[in-house]
């Protein structure tokens, strides 16, 4: 049975990847390693937690002794590395946490994989590192990020992810470690921790709270449905070429303010409110430090070489996402009952 370690599997993207692999590949044993910080939630995986080919392991990727012993004990065939601190606002306030987890944690995993595969490396071994489009910096009004775009990170978060990407490539070139990297655009969908834009707005609209919009809301992002991202990870993991990078994008650019108006309209209909009610909650706040203007990914390489493409139009995916949050109030109340509300209230009260 192929043994695959997925780090950060209790988080937003990771839980969807775990579910896909556990259900689709019964001949794989999937090990979910997660520290269970504020964004890690095992209730994301209650539907597969008792599957015979799934094991949860609580642990920290920055604990070198623990990681080394774990790899020695289980001897994983492959690693899909999603564990990361990922919220830009938090990185501005607490940069060392991002540097420690995203750079040091990745290096520890790479060393552990290198040590285990040094004598027994086979074609089934791969260290697949999931990254972000934010490492490329900011685009103007035209053009797209490609796999050849130079790195130009602008926040502690994106710089820490850029650093981890460089480490992964260095281990491939220096030690011939079999690696793959993918850089994805903004994800949305079920189970996302509600400090990110879309679930934050859903939560605030539902509770008639102000909808904080940075600057004039003109920053542009490319949005990718999380289940489509999980499908892309599956495709790249099984068919990608070692040493290569693949960009995963939704081909779906939206200004933040336009997205929020669309979300308000969807919520008004689903909550049976008069049209325009939710939009009245929009509140413009001071722009975020180092806020990149535009991200847009060209996923052409992934489409042409591996045949992946996004499956949903944004309006459809957004409607499904709203439905999930409205139907899972227990999950939302659980994750918003502690640090999240305190954190966000404190930050926005400072603005």
Which residue out of 60, 85, 134, 292 is catalytically annotated?
A: 134
Which residue out of 128, 157, 214, 325 is catalytically annotated?
A: 157
Spans of the chain below 70 pLDDT? 121, 336-351
Based on the residue annotation, tell me whether 316 is a catalytic residue of this protein: no
Based on the residue annotation, tell me whether 133 is a catalytic residue of this protein: yes
Calpha distance 247→299 (Å, rounded): 5
Contact 225, 260 (CB under 8 A): no
- pTM (whole model) above 0.95: no
Question: How many C-alpha atoms does 91 have within 13 Å on its Cβ side?
Answer: 24
Environment class of residue 29 by beta-carbon count within 10 Å: exposed (0-12), middle (13-18) or buried (19+)?
buried
Contact 218, 291 (CB under 8 A): no
Tell me what pLDDT residue 280 has. 96
Q: Is 310 helix (H, G, I), strand (E, B) or coil?
A: coil
Contact 331, 43 (CB under 8 A): yes
Tell me what pLDDT residue 344 has. 44
Calpha distance 80→65 (Å, rounded): 20
Calpha distance 39→86 (Å, rounded): 9
Tell me what pLDDT residue 336 has. 67
Of 214, 188, 210, residue with least CA distance to 320: 188
Which residue out of 77, 85, 133, 195 is catalytically annotated?
A: 133
CA distances from 161 to 12, 131, 165, 294, 334 (A): 17, 7, 6, 18, 29
Note the Cα 273 to chain centre separation in Å.
Answer: 32
Based on the residue annotation, tell me whether 134 is a catalytic residue of this protein: yes
Phi, psi of 230 (to 5 degrees): -60, -40
β-pairing verdict for 2-7 and 28-34: parallel
**What angle (nearest 5°) sits at the alpha carbon of residue 205, between those of residues 350 and 282?**
55
Contact 212, 348 (CB under 8 A): yes
- For the chain, domains (ranges, CATH) are 2-189+222-248 (3.40.50.720)
Calpha distance 45→264 (Å, rounded): 29
Tell me what pLDDT residue 10 has. 94
- List the structure tokens of 200: 């934050």
């Amino acid at each position: 049975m192929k043994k695959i370690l997925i780090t950060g599997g209790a988080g937003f993207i990771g839980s969807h990847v775990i579910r896909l692999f556990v259900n689709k590949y019964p001949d794989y044993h999937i090990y979910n390693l997660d520290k269970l910080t504020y964004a890690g939630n095992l209730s994301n995986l209650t539907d597969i937690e008792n599957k015979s080919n799934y094991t949860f392991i609580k642990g920290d990727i920055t604990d070198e002794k623990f990681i080394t012993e774990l790899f020695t004990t289980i001897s994983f065939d492959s690693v899909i590395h999603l564990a990361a601190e990922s919220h830009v606002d938090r990185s501005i306030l607490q940069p060392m946490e991002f540097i420690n987890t995203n750079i040091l944690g990745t290096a520890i995993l790479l060393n552990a994989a290198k040590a285990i595969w040094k004598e027994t490396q086979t074609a089934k071994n791969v260290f697949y590192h999931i990254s972000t489009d934010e490492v490329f910096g900011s685009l103007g009004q035209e053009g797209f990020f490609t796999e050849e775009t130079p790195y130009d990170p602008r926040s502690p978060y994106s710089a820490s992810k850029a650093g981890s990407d460089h480490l992964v490539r260095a281990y491939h070139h220096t030690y011939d470690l079999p690696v793959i990297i993918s850089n994805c655009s903004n994800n949305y969908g079920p189970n996302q921790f509600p400090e990110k834009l879309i679930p934050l707005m859903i939560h605030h609209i539902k509770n008639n709270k102000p909808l904080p919009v940075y600057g004039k809301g003109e920053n542009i992002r490319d949005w990718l449905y999380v289940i489509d991202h999980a499908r892309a990870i599956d495709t790249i993991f099984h068919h990608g070429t070692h040493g290569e990078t693949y960009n995963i994008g939704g081909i779906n650019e939206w200004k933040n303010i336009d997205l929020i108006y669309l979300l308000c309209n969807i919520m008004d209909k689903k909550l049976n409110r008069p049209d325009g009610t939710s939009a009245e909650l929009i509140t413009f706040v001071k722009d975020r430090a180092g806020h990149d203007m535009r991200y847009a990914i060209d996923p052409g390489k992934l489409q042409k070489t591996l045949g992946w493409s996004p499956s949903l139009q944004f309006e459809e995916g957004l409607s499904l996402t709203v439905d999930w949050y409205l139907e899972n109030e227990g999950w939302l109340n659980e994750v918003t009952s502690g640090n999240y509300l305190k954190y966000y209230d404190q930050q926005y009260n400072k603005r």
